[in-house]
Amino acid sequence: MRHLPGLRQHLRPGLPLGEDSGQGLATQSVLSAVGMLAQGLVRFLYTVFIKWGFGAAGIVIVGQVNTHIAVAMFASVLVPLAASNAVAKQLARLKGSGQTEQMRDVVAYLGRVTWTAAVLIGIGSTAFVLWREDVPVVAAVLTGLLAIAFSIYTFTRGTLLGLGLLTRATLWDLLASVIAIVGIAALVLARATPWLLVPLVVCYATYALGSYAPLRGGSVPLELRQEIGAFMRISLIQTAATTGFLQGSQIAARHFGTDVTTGHFALALSLATPASLVARSLQVVLFPRMAHAHGRGDHAELARQTDQATRWLVLLCVVVYGTLILGTPTLLQIYGRDAYAAAPTLVILLLACLVQNMVVATTDNLMSREHRYNRIIRNVSVAGAVVGALTWALIGPHLGVEGVAYGYLVGICVTSLIPTAIVWRLDRQRWVGLAVRTGLALAALAAASAWIVTTRAGVLVQVAAVLVLLLGWGAASQRDVRSMLAMRRR
């Protein structure tokens, strides 16, 4: 009971700009992982409940609902996510340089930008769905409301992360997720098909209003506004070409596939993306810390954080994604026997997510620096999205949704590996051994998964393959395992 006052403080509506959690990297990473797990569970259970609750029509409804969610979230990455990245970076840098008096002004300024963009994005999302989809008007309107709610949620979460308030962010994630899960279960039982997006709208709106940012503040100096504007333009293009690329893949699947195969793609995506919380939970904590280090001019610490985070992410991502890749046939049984057709698509998407998430620390490294390095990320992200889209255009008409998955994999390799090579050289990292063993592990996973899916290998074979992966990868990565265990004991 003695913890209740502390919980009430974290759940009290408003944004406590003056608080400082004093939490370490490990604690913040765990809290971030819990919050992201809760949000990932919402998206996963959305797909599971709809697939189970609507019988034979479930796979088609899954495709439709996930397409509407993709439209809303694709639109939301345009300005709101750029504003979220900007507020996280600026708050961390202002704290690092001791200029805390400007924090409220920056939050208010970017909050007004986000709200304006969110309303326009909501209207545009509604119009797009009405134009492209043969659905009831209420479904289109809910897509627009979801775009608005998710936009404000994204900015609010970025603000909390920039302030280092991970406990508050996690508690609101948990509360909002419970509301969404209960809501979707009730709507599926009631078979209220047009209203299936309502729980998600309420989920993100609850979070956003629970830690709403002040929209009133003093003026932001012109020089700082120009710096924020330059960063946002770069971040907008970069996030549209990465996060937007992911959401765009569901829209592309709708274009190149049938109603049923679009549903299969949605099933695969719902299983592939939640595992990204391993990397994202560390990334959202690491980026403000990198910006903090850069703000105080500590480039050696920035390089050390990048090396440590990259080694840990490679270690964990190969284990987590490798297990999912080798266990794909069993994993898909969650959705029923008819879901096995999604196995090849799921393997490809899991490989893409593995490559993307294991090197996110190098992207954060460049984004925490001056604008010339930010522009590198922007240009590489655009190049990756263009290459991926061209791949869709070339092989999508022939391979359908599998072609979309291959295009996503190709694009992700471009956007992930080029920044890694740049940071490798810039910080003079010692990553030769890491790169060699990771490349061998990826090749082995691709070959083993192709055999397992093609031959429909049984559960025992899949378990044996996972055990070989864990033992082999653990032996090859002993140094990094010891480093992670040592940090956990501190």
C-alpha torsion angle, residues 317, 319, 323, 326 (rounded to 10): 90
Span 463-482, mean pLDDT?
90
Return the minimum-mean-pLDDT range out of 12-16, 153-157, 235-239, 443-447.
12-16
What token pair was written down for 442?
């990826």
- Extended strands (E) in 296-454: none
pLDDT value at 51 more than 70: yes
Q: What is the pLDDT of residue 17?
A: 59
**Tens of pLDDT along 214-235?**
667 678 888 888 888 888 887 7
Based on C-alpha coordinates, what's the Rg of the chain? 22
Q: Helix crossing, 277-295 with 137-163: angle to 10°?
A: 50
Span 463-488, mean pLDDT?
85
Q: What is the pLDDT of residue 179?
A: 92
Return the minimum-mean-pLDDT range out of 3-7, 248-252, 449-453.
3-7
- CA 482 to chain CA centroid, Å, is 28
pLDDT value at 321 more than 50: yes
Contact status, residue 38 vs residue 237, Cβ threshold 8 Å = no
Share of the chain above pLDDT 90, in %: 33
The mean pLDDT of the chain is 83
Q: What is the pLDDT of residue 418?
A: 93
How many angstroms separate the CA atoms of 85 and 99, rounded?
A: 19
How many angstroms separate the CA atoms of 360 and 414, rounded?
A: 13
**Tens of pLDDT along 12-24?**
666 665 555 555 5
CB neighbourhood size of 209 (10 A): 15
Q: What is the model's pTM? A: 0.74
- The residue ranking higher by pLDDT, 490 or 464, is 464
pLDDT value at 59 more than 80: yes
pLDDT value at 332 more than 50: yes
Span 190-209, mean pLDDT?
90
3-state secondary structure at position 257:
coil
**Tens of pLDDT along 70-126?**
888 877 777 888 888 888 878 877 776 666 677 888 888 898 889 999 999 999 999
Q: What is the pLDDT of residue 172?
A: 87
pLDDT value at 356 more than 60: yes
What does the DSSP assignment read for 152-203?
HHHHHHHHHHHHT-HHHHHHHHHHHHHHHHHHHHHHHHHT-GGGTTHHHHHH
From residue 441, alpha-carbon distances to 13, 102, 187, 350, 473 in Å are 47, 47, 43, 14, 8
Q: What is the pLDDT of residue 4?
A: 42
Show Cβ contacts of residue 347 under 8 Å, excluding neighbours closer than 6 positions: 325, 328, 449, 450, 453
Return the minimum-mean-pLDDT range out of 143-152, 275-284, 302-311, 364-373.
275-284
Span 374-383, mean pLDDT?
86
- The residue ranking higher by pLDDT, 374 or 150, is 150
pLDDT value at 131 more than 80: yes
